Amino acid sequence: MIEFTTLDTITTDLLNIIRNFGVSRSETISKRQLEMWVHQHRALLIKQDIDKGKIPNPDYIQTIPSLQLEVVDESEGGDLESDLYILKTILELPKTLDFNFKSGFTYIGTIDGNEIQFISEGRRKWQSYKKYTNNDNLAFLRDNHLYLIYAKPIEQITVKGIFEVPTEVMNFENTHYETTEGGWSDPYPIPINMLPTLKEMILKKELGISVQSYSDTSNDSASTVQPNTEGTVKQR
């Protein structure tokens, strides 16, 4: 039994549906265009879910392991009135989704499981003035780099989060980029039960195709959206 779906599966299914409906410009709609719509509507669905106060579904979350760090000059991290080190991720991170009440990062920590508290850069400026927590290990984001205020120089961290464009994370962590075609064959971070809504949104909002709800009863992550009872296609 397939327990995950892939970007290739989602876009192929959508392309077949579009062609079956006979949309006049179906031959000009590429899988790359569909990929962009999948990312956009996935982001919208997840943001709606999390902003309601729900706990993030584990299927939303991606991991960037062994993220390399470097020690930076103290002036780059700002005034630091303590014995802590200022570290910085060497590479820029893919952008996380922006939520109303929480960060898009779900875990920042050492590879052996010691979590590092994520704070805003503005809050970081006041941290050294706090009596009891001025020496806490902290992380903040600046220019798509994570900065760490840490008790000792460390070489790597693990980052988990809900990212805007999942394939950026897949390509970031995969050394076999060419064989995975940029993440097309990797598990796509979306629950299978959200796929029907995702596909309906894309078909209706991007292509004007009216469809009825459906369910993936076989749990094969490749269900086909069926037309409405009239079988009409609403063209823009």
**Are 203 and 18 contacting, i.e. CB atoms less than 8 angstroms apart?**
yes
d(CA 13, CA 140): 40
Encode burial over 22-56: b for 16+ CB neighbours within 10 A, e otherwise: ebeeeeebebeebbebbbbbbbebbbebbeeeeeb
pLDDT in tens, 1-11: 446 799 999 99
Q: What is the pLDDT of residue 125?
A: 60
Judge whether residue 138 has pLDDT over 80.
yes
**Average pLDDT of the residues in 28-42:** 94
pLDDT of residue 29: 87
The angle subtended at Cα 140 by Cα 134 and Cα 142, nearest 5°, is 135
Q: Percent of the chain beyond pLDDT 90?
A: 54
Note the pLDDT of residue 105. 97
Q: Where are the domains of the chain?
A: 7-59+165-207, 62-161
pLDDT at 19: 86
pLDDT at residue 143 in the model: 94
What pLDDT, in 10s, does the model give residues 53-70?
999 999 999 999 999 999
How high is the pLDDT of residue 24?
A: 66
pTM, to two decimals:
0.80
pLDDT value for 216: 43
Mean confidence (pLDDT) of the chain: 80
- What is the per-residue pLDDT for 3? 63
Per-residue confidence (pLDDT) for residue 199, from 0 to 100: 96
Q: Select the more confidently predicted residue: 162 or 209.
A: 162
